[in-house]
A and B are shown apart, each in its own frame.
Chain A
Amino acid sequence: MISRVSSIDFVVNGTRYRNIKVKPYDTLSRILRDELGLTGTKRGCDYGGCGACTVAVEGMAVYSCMYPAQYALNKTILTVEGLAESESEFSREALSEIQRSFLENGGLQCGYCTSGVMMSTKMLLDDNPNPNENDIKEALAGNICRCTGYGRIIDSILAAAKMKNSAARTK
């Protein structure tokens, strides 16, 4: 049946949103930022060149700047705001291993690309808990950083993997 999609229901970071109005030309990044106020997802190039807008849709990394908002209908989305264990508590302990690792290893400078890089990291470590440097480079192929030179980002991801694995062992 022909269905004109003008509003969507979806789950973002564990919260169910209903009847969010979408225009025919809306992409997921605009809805996340302007309608839900989740401005951790950045708009950089706005056509799939930089990776700053990377989010997870049903556990898959996508560029939200070129993902039709209508396709998010009934989907589960994870943004950088959903990485931390608590959104309201701003303490180091409340951060996820990935966030803490970037903080402790200097994996960011201006920070604009960081939310996208962290989301790509999250998807990588979910798939492959022990990535080597090449796995990381492949996973980050779609995330551009103009400050760090990538070295410290790679160090941060290797450290995050260790942190996550050690946390998993102690649980």
Chain B
Amino acid sequence: MALFRPNDFVLSSDKGEVLEKLKAEGKRAHIIAGGTGFYELARRGYIPEVKTVVSIMQLGLSYIDHEQSAFVRIGATTTLQQLLESRIGDSNGIEAIGDALREIRPLQIRNVATVGGEVCISVPIVDLPTALLACSAKLTIIRAPSDKGAAEEIETNLDDFYIDAFLTKLKYGEIVKEVTIPLHRAEKNSHIASAFVKFGRTAYDFNLVNVAVQLSVDRGNQKKVNSVRIFLGGIKRTPIRAPEIEQKILAKVPDEKMITEATKSMFAKTKLLPSVHGSSEYKREVLPVVILDCLSRAYARAIENEQSGR
């Protein structure tokens, strides 16, 4: 196994210099935030080519800003515990974020791991991206200046960010600055809610599969689903959306049979990502149950939100 032996560890409070360093060094440099994922990869010999570790922890990106009621902006180096303690993840419509944060254990990890790190590491075993995707999160990326220009900020939907395991659309010389999550997206005549459910071997383990759902439910007597976003993690190399299941429950009151059949039909011929802890066949059996659980929780919350007038 190749040893991880970088020559340099850089801590900087200047975004411009960090971006320049990352651009100049290319794949020889690696961004580090909390470091929990980074050191695990390093110990396993996955990043021997890294010669410069560039920390972004002093760039002033630790904040949670929800002064404007339309969205919440979360700085990339905000720790998972800070986000959990802020309770913003329990807000109407984005409860999936709070659910996911509570499922990320242990505290030793939540105290150090960051929101930006969870988003950027792009491994199927993490939880927060699935919840963020269901809640229509966007990323703000800072890009190193071109030869003559200034550093620029670009916004991208998280839906478009993931390419493969360990591979995102982030290029050398770019860092994720913040995650933005829309709040109160309910339409005039509906109530919105979301949920996240993780299935792992133990309460403390990584997921075998996880599911996040955000839906809005008709305000009237019929309680039909007006809109829905379902994302699944742990079954492919990146989180995926489940449009086939979404289509089946749109404009209907979801029931167990409908959800189970839609899930089974979507994955009947697909090989799901196996691991030593769960084969493709095992995950195929488990998945309908987890999706049903998650959809039921989100739906119940939407009804509850209506009854409580939220």
- On A, residues with C-beta under 8 Å from B are 1-6, 22, 24-25, 27, 46-48, 51, 54, 60-63, 65-68, 70-71, 73, 120, 123, 138-139, 141-143
Shortest CB distance A25–B (Å): 6
Please tell me if B203 contacts chain A, counting CB pairs below 8 Å. yes
Specify which of B35, B55, B57, B107 is in contact with A139 (CB 8 Å cutoff).
B107
Specify which of A25, A46, A138, A139 is in contact with B5 (CB 8 Å cutoff).
A25
CA distance A24 to B30 in the complex (A): 12
Shortest CB distance B76–A (Å): 16
Chain B residue nearest in CB terms to A123 = B107
CA distance A141 to B200 in the complex (A): 14
Please tell me if B8 contacts chain A, counting CB pairs below 8 Å. yes
Contact B12 A48 (CB under 8 A): no
Contact A24 B53 (CB under 8 A): yes
Chain A residue nearest in CB terms to B14 = A1
Residues in chain A near residue B105, CB distance under 8 A? 138, 141-142
User: B27-66: contact bitstring with A at CB < 8 Å (1 yes, 0 no)?
Assistant: 0000010011011101110000000110101000000000
Residues in chain B near residue A2, CB distance under 8 A? 10, 12, 14, 17-18, 21
Shortest CB distance B201–A (Å): 13
Chain A residue nearest in CB terms to B202 = A141
Please tell me if B108 contacts chain A, counting CB pairs below 8 Å. yes
CA distance A87 to B93 in the complex (A): 52
Please tell me if B166 contacts chain A, counting CB pairs below 8 Å. no
Contact B112 A62 (CB under 8 A): yes
Residues in chain B near residue A1, CB distance under 8 A? 12-14, 17
Q: Chain B contact residues: over half helix, strand or loop, or mixed?
A: mixed
Specify which of A27, A120, A141, A143 is in contact with B203 (CB 8 Å cutoff).
A141
Residues in chain A near residue B55, CB distance under 8 A? 68, 70-71
Contact A62 B111 (CB under 8 A): yes
Please tell me if B71 contacts chain A, counting CB pairs below 8 Å. no
Contact B36 A141 (CB under 8 A): no
Contact B108 A63 (CB under 8 A): yes
- On B, residues with C-beta under 8 Å from A are 4-14, 17-18, 21, 32, 35-36, 38-40, 42-44, 52-53, 55, 57, 81, 105-109, 111-112, 203-204
Shortest CB distance B44–A (Å): 7
Specify which of B17, B40, B53 is in contact with A66 (CB 8 Å cutoff).
B40
Specify which of B6, B11, B13, B108 is in contact with A25 (CB 8 Å cutoff).
B6
Shortest CB distance B49–A (Å): 14
Residues in chain A near residue B14, CB distance under 8 A? 1-2
Specify which of B32, B39, B53, B108 is in contact with A142 (CB 8 Å cutoff).
B108
Specify which of A27, A48, A71 is in contact with B109 (CB 8 Å cutoff).
A48
Name 17 interchain pairs, CB-CB below 8 A, sorted by A: A6-B9, A24-B5, A24-B6, A24-B7, A25-B9, A25-B42, A48-B39, A48-B108, A54-B108, A62-B111, A63-B109, A66-B38, A66-B39, A67-B112, A68-B53, A141-B106, A142-B105
Chain A residue nearest in CB terms to B32 = A68
Residues in chain A near residue B107, CB distance under 8 A? 61, 120, 123, 138-139, 141-142
CA distance A141 to B203 in the complex (A): 8
Cβ-closest 7 pairs across A and B: A142-B106, A66-B39, A24-B9, A141-B106, A24-B6, A141-B105, A141-B204
Contact A68 B9 (CB under 8 A): yes
Residues in chain B near residue A54, CB distance under 8 A? 108
Residues in chain B near residue A61, CB distance under 8 A? 107-108, 111
CA distance A70 to B53 in the complex (A): 11
Shortest CB distance A90–B (Å): 29
Contact B39 A60 (CB under 8 A): no
Shortest CB distance A69–B (Å): 9
Contact B44 A47 (CB under 8 A): yes
Residues in chain A near residue B109, CB distance under 8 A? 48, 63, 142
CA distance A24 to B112 in the complex (A): 19
Chain A residue nearest in CB terms to B39 = A66
State whether A70 and B11 are in contact (beta carbons under 8 Å apart), knowing that A25-B4, A25-B5, A48-B36 are contacts in the complex.
yes
State whether A51 and B106 are in contact (beta carbons under 8 Å apart), knowing that A25-B6, A70-B55, A71-B57 are contacts in the complex.
yes
Contact A47 B106 (CB under 8 A): no
Contact B111 A3 (CB under 8 A): no
Contact A4 B35 (CB under 8 A): no
Residues in chain A near residue B42, CB distance under 8 A? 25
State whether A3 and B106 are in contact (beta carbons under 8 Å apart), knowing that A24-B6, A48-B40 are contacts in the complex.
no
CA distance A1 to B58 in the complex (A): 10
Residue from A46, A51, A67, A139 having most chain B Cβ neighbours under 10 A: A67
